[in-house]
A = this chain, B = another copy of it.
Amino acid sequence: MAQPRYQRRKEDRPDEIAAAAMEAFAEHGYAGTKVADVAKRAGVSKGLMYLYFKTKEELFKAVIRSVVIPRVAALEALMESSGLSSEAWLCGPFTEFAKSLPGSHIAVIVRLMIAEGPKHPDLVAFYWDNVVSRGLRAMSNLIERGIESGEFQRSRLTEQPHLIIMPVVFSVIFRLIFADKSLDTDQLIDTQTDLLIRGLKDPADA
């Protein structure tokens, strides 16, 4: 008789739920998100949700991880695409990657991290270990390579990989809060990269 409509397989459920939860958390924050709403978005009963995620908090953490991990992988993959000089890599692949972030889901993650971080230290630790620390190390390595190849000069700048990431973070935040106040984030990233490269090449403190 009634053909069962496309029967989703169990294996997909957790991801579907996590995706729905991502949306919900993005819109309403952690406290503002209702478990029932997530379930409805995912087209699943509350009871079933609790089969996969034992608490709302666990769901939250799972969501964060599921968004973050692929991004990290992407960056990692990007690092391999070498053959380029440090400068070329910074101006090319890296800049492109950086520019893609402010509009992506990662922005939401940043918001959640800021808003809920204090209450979820393990999440912060996870984020640090898998994203920030790794990203900063990547930048450091890049600079180091540049020094070794003679492109860059060792200097104060050399110790501060944060300067490369800064405009991305700033753009993400700015857009998050002032969605309507236009800011040309791409240009910001370009300009900062230029300034940095100039400084790296020629420290210039007499």
> What residues make up the interface of A, taking CB atoms closer than 8 Å to B?
27-29, 31-32, 111, 113-119, 124, 127-128, 132-133, 156-157, 160, 162-163, 166-167, 169-170, 173-174, 176-178, 181, 183, 187-188, 191-192, 194-196, 198-199, 204-205
Which residue from B31, B114, B167 sits with its C-beta under 8 Å from A32?
B31
Residues of B within 8 A of A157 (CB): 191, 195
Contact (Cβ within 8 A) A178 B31: no
Residues of B within 8 A of A199 (CB): 195, 198
Contact (Cβ within 8 A) B177 A114: yes
What are 9 A-B residue pairs whose CB atoms fall within 8 Å in the complex? A29-B116, A114-B115, A114-B177, A160-B187, A166-B167, A169-B173, A194-B205, A195-B199, A198-B204
Residues of B within 8 A of A118 (CB): 27-29
Contact (Cβ within 8 A) A163 B176: no
Contact (Cβ within 8 A) B170 A188: no
**Chain B residue at minimum C-beta to C-beta distance from A31:** B31
Interface centre among A27, A118, A169, by most chain B C-beta atoms within 10 angstroms, is A118
Give the Cβ gap from A87 to chain B, nearest Cβ, in Å.
14
Residues of B within 8 A of A115 (CB): 29, 111, 114-116
Which residue from B124, B174, B191 sits with its C-beta under 8 Å from A156?
B191
- 7 closest pairs, A vs B, by CB? A115-B115, A31-B31, A166-B170, A195-B195, A114-B114, A117-B177, A195-B199
Residues of B within 8 A of A32 (CB): 31, 119
Interface centre among A116, A160, A204, by most chain B C-beta atoms within 10 angstroms, is A160
Contact (Cβ within 8 A) B177 A113: yes
Residues of B within 8 A of A117 (CB): 176-177
Bound-state CA distance A177–B110 (Å) is 10
